[in-house]
Amino acid sequence: MLKELGRGLVTTFKMLLEGPVTTQYPEEKRQVRPRFRGRHVLKRYENGLEKCIGCSLCAAACPADAIFVEASENTDEERFSPGDRYASTYEINMLRCIYCGFCEDACPTEAIVLGDNYELSFTDRRDAIYTKDTLLEAVPSSEMTTPQKVEPGLYTRSVPQMENPRD
């Protein structure tokens, strides 16, 4: 018993000589792991159009039923995404979300991703419902806006055509 007590005290004194491992949180942000799943982000293409085509596959894949998507038709006068449809309403209830990543896996256009932002706090239950405006990433250029006016027939595919690597 005395031997174990001595080993415990040696371990305690070793730890006293080491520096603290505390991170001063608001001033110092901790680096997250590469596979960390944080706050959701709706992505855009380089030209500013939204990647989300309103297919609702993310909502169907969500086991917590935290995602609501309502689709509307694109027109040539007002174009939000390259496809025929876009998500006119996109909401995620962050109180229900379990950060499983199924929505990210189900999306055919890779529009929804789980980012690295871990600072999620709410003072009201209504603040926990993230709308499309909250989720959309910033426009790449200040002159690009959504919706865009495009020439008729320019966008005919909702998912960009993949090039064959063997050609």
Residues 19-70: pLDDT tens digits?
Answer: 888 888 888 888 889 889 999 999 998 888 899 999 999 999 999 999 999 9
Residue 115, domain member (yes or no): yes
Domain span holding position 101: 50-135
pLDDT of res. 66: 94
- Assign residue 165 a region: left if phi > 0, alpha if psi is -120 to 50, beta otherwise? alpha
Domain containing residue 104: CATH number: 3.30.70.3270
pLDDT of res. 166: 56
Residue 9, domain member (yes or no): no
Residue 148, domain member (yes or no): no
Residues 139/44, Cβ–Cβ less than 8 Å: yes
How many domains is the chain built from? 1
Residue 34, domain member (yes or no): no
pLDDT of res. 89: 93
Give tens-digit pLDDT for 69-107.
999 998 888 888 888 899 999 999 999 999 999 999 999
pLDDT band for position 158 (cuts 50, 70, 90): very low
Residue 13, domain member (yes or no): no
- pLDDT of 157 higher than 50: no
Element (H, E) at 9: helix 2-17
pLDDT of res. 159: 46
Residue 99, domain member (yes or no): yes
Structure token pair of residue 78: 């007002």
pLDDT of res. 48: 85
Residue 21, domain member (yes or no): no
pLDDT of res. 58: 95
pLDDT of res. 23: 84
Residue 18, domain member (yes or no): no
Phi, psi dihedrals of residue 126, rounded to the nearest 5°: -70, -30
Give tens-digit pLDDT for 101-151.
999 999 999 999 999 888 888 888 888 999 999 999 877 655 566 666 655
Give the residue from 165, 19, 38 showing the smallest Cα distance to 101: 38
**Whole-model pTM above 0.85?**
no
Identify which has the larger pLDDT, 152 or 58: 58
